[in-house]
Chain A
C-alpha cells in the first residue's frame, strides 16, 4: 500500500542545513494500522508531511499503491491528496463556517461528487463514529472528541488508500482520545482502512498493529504487536526507555 524507500529531507536556514530524515525505508500493508513514534525532532512529523505531499523531499521514493509521488506535478499531488489520502490533524482543521456533515463532505465536494450516495455515506460514517446527533452543528458548538471524530469521518469519505493522522489525540482528554482510537479501529475493521499515525502517546500507539520508532531521522526499531493491547503498551514503553537511555549515553559521550 505504502512504500517509503531511502527517504532524505533536510531544512535549511541561511547559514546551516539540518538533515531531518536520513534515508528512511519502510512499508505499510493494506489494512494495517501503523504508528510512528519518536522524541521531538526525530523527524516523525516531517515524514508524515512528505507522505502527505505537503512538503517536498530531496531523495528517495514514496510509492502509494503503484504511484510514485515524486514524479507528480502540483495538480497530480492535489488529486492524490484528495482521492488516495485521508487526513486527520492534531487541531482538527475543520472549517468553522460549515456544519459537521458539510465538513465531512469537503473531499467529495472538491472531487465534485457530493451526490446523494456521498451524503448517505457521510451519514453512515457519522452513525459509525457516534456523531450523528451533531450532524448539523458547527465545529465551535461540539466537543474536541466530536471534532476529531468528524475529522476521521472526513478522512474516510473518499475511501482513501491511506489515512494519515498527525497526533490525532494530542489535543484531547483520555476519554476523547479513546473514542478517536476506537473510530480508527472501526475504520480498519469495517472498511479495511490503512492508517499511518504519528503520535507521542504510547497508549494510542498500543492499539496499532505495528509501531515504527524513529531516532534522529532514522528508524530505530519496528515493533509488531503481539498479545494484548496492554502488554504491547508495556513492551512499547520498555523499548522507548531503552531508546532514551541509548540517546542519553550517546549524548554524554
Chain B
C-alpha cells in the first residue's frame, strides 16, 4: 500500500465526515449564484433603476446574504478540519512529515471544495428558474417577466468559489503549521469558550443597538443639513454600533440567558454549559443568522407595505377614472369615451373636465458640485400645473378662495409627504410661451386626495389665472378629466381606454413624471444639458403594460378597476425580487441554524454519552437537545424580527411624522408574515431536533 492508496481510502471515509462541509459549500454557492442571476437579470435591472432605493436595498441584502454565506462556509471549513484533525494528528504522531501530508490535505480539500462549489453553482440555475417560473405560474405572469440569464452574473459566484478554495487552503496550511501534535489530535474535543463580559452586556447591548440604529438612520440627513454635502458610503460605518450591540445581546443570551424571574440555578445547567463552552462560534453564528433573518423580514415586509398603500389609495379614490393630458394631444373626448364604454355595457356619470396651465415657477434650485450641494435662485426653477379657483371647484366640488397675488398647493394633508414635494417658496410665475410673469406668494395648502402626488397641482386666483394664461399654447396647457362608472364597471373598458389614451399621445409626451420641462429650458438657456435628457429610463409607448411605463409615465391615468386588477402585474418584478430575496435569506439563516445545532450536538456527543451512562432518560436528553436548538433558532428569530419591525415603524414614522392608516394595515399584514416565518422556523426546529436525536442515538 502506498501513501496515495492510503489517501484514497481515508478520503472515502472523509466523504462521510465532510457531508456538512459539502452541504454548506453547495448551499452557499447555490444561493449566491441564484441571487447573482436574479440581481443581474436585464428585467430586474430595468425595473429597479440604478441609484433607486429598491436597487440599493437589493444590493445591500445581497451583501448581507453573501457575508452570511461566507460565515457559514468559514465555519463549515473549520468544522471539517476539526473532524479531520485527529487523522492528521495521528499520521503526524506516527512520523508523517508536513511534506507528505500537505499534498494529501490540499488535494482533498480542493477536490471537495471545488466539487461542492461547482455543483452549487450549477444548481443555482435551476433554483432561480424554478423560483422565477414558479412565481410566474402561481402569482403573476406578465410579458416583461422573462428571465434572461447573463453570463456576467457568474462573476460573483466565481469569486466566491475562489474564496472557498483559498479558505480551505489557508485552513489546511494552518493545521499543517501546528507544532503541538497532541493538540492537533485532541482538536475535535476542544472547547471554544467565550470571554464573559458580565451581566451588564445584554442590557447595554440593547441600548447600543437601539441608539446606534437611530443615530445611523438619521445621520445622513443631519450631515446634509449641517454640511450641505453628501456624507458618502462612510456614513454607513455608523451602523457598526448596531452590530456591536447585537453581538453583546447575543453574548448575554448564550452565556447567561435572559431570566426575569429567579430560577432554580441548575435547571439549565447542562445545556447552558454546553452552549457556553462552544460560545465563540455560537455567538458568531447567531449574529449572522440574526442579520439574515432581519434581511428576510425586510424583504418580506416590502411587499405588504407596498401593496397596502396601493390598496387603500385605489379604494379611497373619489373617482373611478382620472386622467390628464396636454391640450395639444388628440385625446378621445366625452362622447367618444361614452361610446367606448357602451361597447362594454358601462355607462358613465359625474363627468368633469377642466383646463389647467403649466407655468414656470421661480425658487431655489438644487445644484450639485461634486459631493457638495447648494441652492441657487432661478427664475425658471420648476414646472407647476395650475387650476383657476373656479375650475378647481368644478373638478372637486371644493369651494376655495384664493386672494389675488397668492396661490394654494394641492395636497392630501398639510403634513403629508406630498406636501413637502410641492413648491411653496415661489414668488414669480412665468408663462413659458409669452414669458409674461406674475408676482405671487404661497398662501396655504388645500386638501384633495385624488389630486395629491405626481407632478403637483396648484390653484390661482381666477383673475390672476386669466392674466397669466393669456397667449398660452396647447403645449403648456392641459385638461384634467374625471368620471365614475354608473353601476358595474368593466375592466376591459378601462384597459381599452388606457391603450386608446396612450396611442393618442405624440412622442413629446413620452416622458416620466419627474421630467421637468421648465428646468430643461432653463438649463438649455445657460448652455447646460438637462439631466433628464441624459438618463431617461423605462417610458416607452411601445410597452404600455410594463411596470416601468405604468409607474413612471407622466400622464399615467388612474383607473380604479385597472389599478386594482393590474397591481400584482405592474409590480410583479418588484414582488418577485423581494420574495426571492426573502427566500435566499431565510434559506441561508435556516441552514446556519441547522448547522450550528448539529455542531453543538456533535461536539458534545461525549456529554450526551456520559449523561446516558449516568442514567439520564431519553426524555431528559431530548429536552437538552431542544434547549440547544431553541436558543440557536429562537434568539435570531426574535431579535431579527423585532429589529426589522422597529425599523419599518421608524421608516413609516420618519416618512411623514405619523403612522397612517395604510401603514397600520401594512403592519397588520407584516404581522401575518411574521407568523408564517415563525411557523417555518418552528418546522426547522422540529426537523433539527429530530435529526439530532437520531444522530446522538436518543430514542423516544
Number of interface residues of A (CB under 8 A): 32
Q: Which one of A55, A75, A112 contacts B2 once the chains associate, using CB atoms below 8 Å?
A: A112
Q: Please name all residues of chain B whose beta carbon is closer than 8 Å to the beta carbon of A75 when the two chains form the complex.
A: 97-99
Shortest Cβ gap from B112 to chain A (Å): 15
> Contacts A98-B9, A102-B9, A109-B2; is A78 near B95 (CB within 8 Å)?
yes
Does any Cβ of A come within 8 Å of B534's Cβ?
A: no
Query: Would you give the 0/1 interface string for A78-90, flagging 1 where the beta carbon is closer than 8 Å to chain B?
Result: 1111110101010
Which one of B85-93, B151-159, B274-282, B295-303 is at the A interface? B85-93
Residues of B within 8 A of A (CB): 1-3, 5-6, 9-10, 12-14, 87, 90-100, 179-182, 185
Shortest Cβ gap from B67 to chain A (Å): 32
Does any Cβ of B come within 8 Å of A52's Cβ?
A: yes
Inter-chain contact A114/B1, CB cutoff 8 Å = yes
Write the chain B residue with the least CB distance to A53.
Answer: B181
Q: Which one of A54, A80, A81, A114 contacts B180 once the chains associate, using CB atoms below 8 Å?
A: A54
6 closest cross-chain pairs (CB), A and B: A82-B95, A97-B13, A81-B95, A78-B97, A54-B181, A114-B1
Inter-chain contact A107/B94, CB cutoff 8 Å = yes
Inter-chain contact A97/B3, CB cutoff 8 Å = no
Inter-chain contact B92/A55, CB cutoff 8 Å = no
**Given the complex of chains A and B, what is the CA–CA distance between A155 and B439 in angstroms?**
104
**Given the complex of chains A and B, what is the CA–CA distance between A93 and B185 in angstroms?**
9
Write the chain A residue with the least CB distance to B6.
Answer: A109
Write the chain B residue with the least CB distance to A78.
Answer: B97
Shortest Cβ gap from B409 to chain A (Å): 69
Inter-chain contact B97/A79, CB cutoff 8 Å = yes
Shortest Cβ gap from B588 to chain A (Å): 32
Q: Which one of A54, A78, A97, A110 contacts B12 once the chains associate, using CB atoms below 8 Å?
A: A97
Inter-chain contact A83/B95, CB cutoff 8 Å = yes
Q: Please name all residues of chain A whose beta carbon is closer than 8 Å to the beta carbon of B181 when the two chains form the complex.
A: 54-55
A105-134 residues with Cβ-Cβ distance < 8 A to B are: 105-107, 109-112, 114
Q: Which one of A56, A96, A105 contacts B1 once the chains associate, using CB atoms below 8 Å?
A: A105
> Contacts A81-B93, A114-B1; is A106 near B6 (CB within 8 Å)?
yes
Inter-chain contact A110/B2, CB cutoff 8 Å = no
The listed residue with most A CB atoms (<10 A of its CB), out of B12, B96, B99, B180, is: B96
Can you name 9 A-B pairs with beta carbons within 8 Å?
Answer: A54-B181, A55-B181, A78-B98, A87-B94, A93-B93, A97-B13, A110-B3, A112-B2, A154-B94
Inter-chain contact A106/B180, CB cutoff 8 Å = no
Q: Please name all residues of chain A whose beta carbon is closer than 8 Å to the beta carbon of B185 when the two chains form the complex.
A: 93
**Given the complex of chains A and B, what is the CA–CA distance between A96 and B87 in angstroms?**
9
A58-93 residues with Cβ-Cβ distance < 8 A to B are: 74-75, 78-83, 85, 87, 89, 93
Write the chain B residue with the least CB distance to A101.
Answer: B1
> Contacts A49-B182, A96-B13, A110-B3; is A74 near B91 (CB within 8 Å)?
no
Q: Please name all residues of chain B whose beta carbon is closer than 8 Å to the beta carbon of A246 when the two chains form the complex.
A: none
Q: Please name all residues of chain B whose beta carbon is closer than 8 Å to the beta carbon of A154 when the two chains form the complex.
A: 94
Q: Please name all residues of chain A whose beta carbon is closer than 8 Å to the beta carbon of B14 when the two chains form the complex.
A: 97
